[in-house]
Structure 1
Amino acid sequence: MSKPKAKAAQTHQTGIYKSDSVRDVAESLGITSLSETVASSLASDVEYRIHQVIEEASRFMRHARRTTITTSDIDQALRVLNIEPLYGHNPHNPPVFRRALPFPNAANVGAVYFVDDEEIDFDRVLREEKITLPKGVSWTAHWLAVEGVQPLIPENPPAIPKDVDQEITKSPPQTNGTFPLTPPSESRSTVKKQQQQQQQLVKQVLSRELQLYYTRLTSSLLPPTADSAKRTAALASLRNDAGLQALLPYLIRWVGEGVVTALKEGAQSEADGRSLEVLLDVVSAILENNTLFIEPYLHQLLPAILSTLLHSTLPPSHATHLRTSAAQTLSRLLTQHSTTYPSLSPRIMKTLLVALISSDKSKGTREGAIRGLVGIGKEAVRKGLVEGGGVKVVGSECTPGETGPLVDSVMTALHVLHPPSDMPESLDATNEGDAKTIEQSREVLGDFFAEKLYGDKDWVLGILSSIKQQS
Structure 2
Amino acid sequence: MSKPKPRAVQTQHTGIYKIDAVKDAAESLSINISDPVASALACDVEYRIHQVIEEAARFMRHGRRTTMTTSDIDQAFRVLNIEPLYGHSASNPPTFRRALPFPHMPAAGPVYFVEDEEIDFDRVLREEKIALPKGVNWTAHWLAVEGVQPLIPENPPAIPRDIELEAAKAEPQVNGGPLALQGSAAKRQQQQQQQQQQLVKQVLSRELQLYYTRLTSSLLPPSNDFAKRTAALASLRNDAGLQALLPYLIRWVGEGVVGSLKEGVQSESDGRILEVLLDVVSALLENNTLFVEPYLHQILPPILSTLLHSSLPPTHATHLRTTASQTLSRVLTQHSTTYPSLSPRIMKTLLLALISPGKSRGTREGAIRGLVGVGKEAVRKGLVEGGGAKVVESECREAGDGGALVNSVMDALRVLRPAADMVYPLDMANEADAAVAERLREVLGDSFARAIAADAAWAREILGMTSESS
Structure 1 residue 435: deviation in Å? Answer: 5.7
Structure 1 residue 409: deviation in Å? Answer: 0.8
C-alpha offsets along residues 270-300 of structure 1, whole Å, 9 cap, x if unaligned?
Answer: x4333212222333455667733437x63x5
Contact 1:235 1:281 in 2 (8 A): no
1:302, 1:70 → 2: CA distance?
Answer: 73
Match 1:310 to one of 308, 311, 334: 308
Structure 1 residue 412: deviation in Å? Answer: 0.9
Distance 1:351 1:447, change over 3 A: closer
Counterpart for residue 20 of structure 2: 20
Distance 1:119 1:375, change over 3 A: closer
Counterpart for residue 233 of structure 1: 235
Tell me whether 1:393 sits opposite 2:394 in the alignment: yes
Tell me whether 1:422 sits opposite 2:414 in the alignment: no
Counterpart for residue 326 of structure 1: 324
Q: What are the within-5 Å matches in structure 2 for residues 129-168 of structure 1? A: 144-145=143-144, 149-150=148-149, 155=156
Q: What are the within-5 Å matches in structure 2 for residues 56-135 of structure 1? A: 83-84=82-83, 86=85, 95-103=94-102, 109-116=108-115
Contact 1:217 1:234 in 2 (8 A): no
What's the secondary structure of 2:445's corresponding residue?
helix
Counterpart for residue 457 of structure 1: 456
Counterpart for residue 180 of structure 1: none
TM-score by length of 2: 0.68
Structure 1 residue 411: deviation in Å? Answer: 0.9
Counterpart for residue 179 of structure 2: none
Counterpart for residue 182 of structure 2: none
1:325, 1:228 → 2: CA distance?
Answer: 17
Structure 1 residue 413: deviation in Å? Answer: 1.8
Counterpart for residue 376 of structure 1: 374
What's the secondary structure of 1:294's corresponding residue?
helix
Distance 1:438 1:198, change over 3 A: same
Tell me whether 1:205 sits opposite 2:224 in the alignment: no
Structure 1 residue 23: deviation in Å? Answer: 0.9
2:260, 2:235 → 1: CA distance?
Answer: 23
Task: Write the letter of the residue equivalent to 1:258.
Answer: G
Contact 2:233 2:279 in 1 (8 A): no
Counterpart for residue 219 of structure 1: 217
1:433, 1:90 → 2: CA distance?
Answer: 92
Structure 1 residue 323: deviation in Å? Answer: 0.6
Contact 1:417 1:463 in 2 (8 A): yes
Distance 1:443 1:168, change over 3 A: farther
What's the secondary structure of 1:424's corresponding residue?
coil
Counterpart for residue 348 of structure 2: 346
1:73, 1:197 → 2: CA distance?
Answer: 70
What's the secondary structure of 1:114's corresponding residue?
strand
1:236, 1:415 → 2: CA distance?
Answer: 34
Task: Write the letter of the residue equivalent to 1:405.
Answer: A
Gaps of 5+ in 2: 125-134, 171-184
Counterpart for residue 275 of structure 1: 273
Contact 1:143 1:151 in 2 (8 A): yes
2:68, 2:366 → 1: CA distance?
Answer: 96
Structure 1 residue 349: deviation in Å? Answer: 1.9
1:438, 1:70 → 2: CA distance?
Answer: 99
Counterpart for residue 181 of structure 2: none
C-alpha offsets along residues 335-386 of structure 1, whole Å, 9 cap, x if unaligned?
Answer: 63452696554244212323xx53x724x33322321232233444344434
Counterpart for residue 130 of structure 1: none
Structure 1 residue 69: deviation in Å? Answer: 6.1
2:55, 2:143 → 1: CA distance?
Answer: 60
1:145, 1:8 → 2: CA distance?
Answer: 88
What's the secondary structure of 1:321's corresponding residue?
helix
1:58, 1:434 → 2: CA distance?
Answer: 102
Structure 1 residue 414: deviation in Å? Answer: 1.7
1:277, 1:390 → 2: CA distance?
Answer: 29
Distance 1:369 1:192, change over 3 A: farther
Structure 1 residue 49: deviation in Å? Answer: 3.9
Tell me whether 1:46 sits opposite 2:40 in the alignment: no
Distance 1:217 1:82, change over 3 A: same
C-alpha RMSD of the superposition:
5.1
2:121, 2:425 → 1: CA distance?
Answer: 105
Structure 1 residue 228: deviation in Å? Answer: 1.1
Percent identity (aligned) = 57
Task: Write the letter of the residue equivalent to 1:309.
Answer: L
1:273, 1:398 → 2: CA distance?
Answer: 26
Tell me whether 1:445 sits opposite 2:444 in the alignment: yes
Gaps of 5+ in 1: 1-5, 126-135, 171-190
Contact 2:353 2:364 in 1 (8 A): no
Structure 1 residue 119: deviation in Å? Answer: 7.6
Structure 1 residue 31: deviation in Å? Answer: 0.7
What's the secondary structure of 2:265's corresponding residue?
coil
Contact 1:268 1:316 in 2 (8 A): no
2:438, 2:39 → 1: CA distance?
Answer: 113
Contact 2:350 2:367 in 1 (8 A): no
Structure 1 residue 308: deviation in Å? Answer: 1.4
C-alpha offsets along residues 156-176 of structure 1, whole Å, 9 cap, x if unaligned?
Answer: 67598x979967999xxxxxx
What's the secondary structure of 1:227's corresponding residue?
helix
TM-score by length of 1: 0.68
Distance 1:254 1:95, change over 3 A: closer
Counterpart for residue 132 of structure 2: none
1:349, 1:461 → 2: CA distance?
Answer: 23
